[in-house]
Amino acid sequence: MTTKISADHARELARAFREVSVQLGNYRFNNWNTLTPKKRQELEDLEWTLLNYSSDLITLAVGLTLDDSKASLDRIQKATTQAKEAIETIKNIKKAIIIAGAVMKLGAAIVTKNPGMIDSAVDDIFSALTSDNDAQ
């Protein structure tokens, strides 16, 4: 069974990507004094990329067909929601960057309408959320 992303679903995805972007910005400013300039820039770059994907998702994701057995819309929404929540509370910069990178990969997969890459990116988000990255 397959599902096409509707305009309403695309707006929900766009909102989720914007929320992850906002959380990255909050993380960057809340941890400003403990981050190196390079890490601050890396987070800002990820933040802007996700914000741009948020804008693109509304027009580019509509009509994308998803295989419900793999990258279902519910699974994508769950992954982005959990990523936003993790970044909101995370203390580990490396893990924050890994999670944001996985969300960025998902955004790229959606805007390029690549269902196989979407499934892989969702898996990457869940993997990043559950991994134990102790290094700062």
The 8-class DSSP code of residue 131 comes to S
Residue-by-residue pLDDT tens, the chain, 136 positions: 677 788 888 888 899 999 999 999 999 999 999 999 999 999 999 999 999 999 888 887 777 777 654 567 888 889 999 999 999 888 888 999 999 999 999 999 988 888 889 989 999 999 999 987 544 4
Task: Provide the 3-class DSSP secondary structure of residue 14.
Answer: helix
Q: What is the pLDDT of residue 136?
A: 43
CA 6 from chain centre, in angstroms, equals 19
Is-contact 108 79, C-beta < 8 A?
A: no
The 8-class DSSP code of residue 90 comes to -
Q: What is the pLDDT of residue 42?
A: 95
Phi, psi of 10 (to 5 degrees): -60, -40
Tokens 């695309």 sit on residue: 10
Q: Rounded to whole angstroms, how far apart are CA atoms 49 and 47?
A: 6
Q: What is the pTM of this model?
A: 0.85
Q: What is the pLDDT of residue 3?
A: 76
